[in-house]
Amino acid sequence: MRGESCTGKTRTSFEAIRVCLKDWQLVFPKNARRLLALLDANDLTPRTVLWLNEAQNFLTGTDGEEAAAALHSQLEQPASVVILGTLWPEYHRTLTTTPEPGKDAHSNARALLNQVKPVDVPASFTATALRNSIVDRDRSLATAMSTSTGGRITQTLAAGPQLVDHYQQATSHSPYGHAVITTAMDARRLGHTSPLPTALLKAAAPGYLTEQQRAAADPDTWFAHALDYAREKVKGVVAALEPVANPDGMGALPDIYRLSDYLDHHARTIRCYAFPPDSFWTAARDHAASTADLEALAEAADQRGRYGIAADLYQRAADAGGTGALAELAWRRGRAGDLDGAEPLAQQAAEAGDTGPLVELAWRRGEAGDLEGAERLAQQAAEAGDTGPLVELAWRRGEAGDLDGAERLAQQAADAGNINALVRLARRHEEAGELNGAERLAQRAADIGGRDALVRLARLRERAGDAEGAKRWRRFGLEADGTSAQ
């Protein structure tokens, strides 16, 4: 079910289950970790509905990709299980859009969602739907209809406008509450998707106040009063900051809050061009809840030209084990010319599964004339599973006329499973008329990669009109296969 905030996605899903699957059992995991545990244990029995309300909370963050892969596997099972989720359009777009090369953070989520045809829940009811007699017979629906514009009655039912008014009116009689809520709105729109710790809210809020307001505050009570205002239920339905249920038991987690979805959506309109104060970034650096939050906030700071702040946030995320932050820091230092400082970060990223920084650093050392350093990094990348730099360096050596050096690097790449450099070098020998060298390298490539690689080269020579070259490469392949050409 795809729709904007407070459009009735959850209620629509509930009614669909109640009518169509009324005899089925319902399973509602509270977070991605619980979902993974459920799927790993294979606890979903036939005729079960797996309810993923606000599915972005399961498909993003630290466990999001693993959860998406597990859900994809579940769909391939024969058991009669229905997976039903709700999702905002912007999250659906983020999770399904094909990313730029090398920046694919949601490949599993995209593979899962791209096979789904969403049921769109409109932001408003049509005039025909609102003429239904049920509306007149139900007091709450009738009241919502009379006070709504454009058929947006679900938002009114959810007390969204009143909640916005509660936030806006705080500027006059509770500026500290307004500051705390604004901090939460900025945190969510800039990438802090986890529940918000009170320490972050308290540290950031002063930057949203004037000097007079700060001077008038009671140091001992201002934040408690501000938090009370932010937690106050509007019309007894919803608050700006809602408690977060303890996933392991009853009650709420202490000192943790979640921003109302309606205010989150509202903030992306009214504050889309607002720039947070310095206190927000410092608080985010010191109190953000996860590496994913830190990395997202760092990217937001970077996009707004706060490069020093972004570097601090990336460093904090890297210190906490964030692979993306390690890679980003390595790239930044490499681009700044600090190759020695970038190298240990690139190595840590490679150990965590991302060889991109090592590859770029090998290229930068090569461009700087440090071929020995470039080869060392290329070898490390190959050991981590990426032989591209070795192949590139072998080609560069060959272009420079250093065929011995090119052959040595090509052999290292081949030892790691990539025969492309050997094949390229064999072609270079062939073009230079050094057929013995070409045959020696071709046979070595065939020993590692099989004769098919040489047969494909023969076909390429045929297409290029080089019949003799094609025959020669086919002969190389046959000899590597232990047969002889007739």
Mean pLDDT, rounded, for 14-19: 91
Mean pLDDT, rounded, for 9-20: 90
Cα-to-chain-centroid distance, residue 50: 23
pLDDT at residue 218, as a whole number: 93
pLDDT at residue 223, as a whole number: 96
* 53-81 confidence digits (pLDDT tens): 999 999 988 889 999 999 999 988 887 89
pLDDT at residue 443, as a whole number: 65
pLDDT band at 219 (very low <50, low <70, confident <90, very high): very high
pLDDT band at 229 (very low <50, low <70, confident <90, very high): very high
pLDDT at residue 179, as a whole number: 96
* 263-318 confidence digits (pLDDT tens): 888 888 889 889 999 999 999 989 987 888 988 898 898 888 888 888 888 888 87
DSSP assigned state of 450: -
* 395-430 confidence digits (pLDDT tens): 666 666 666 666 676 666 666 666 676 676 666 666
pLDDT at residue 486, as a whole number: 37
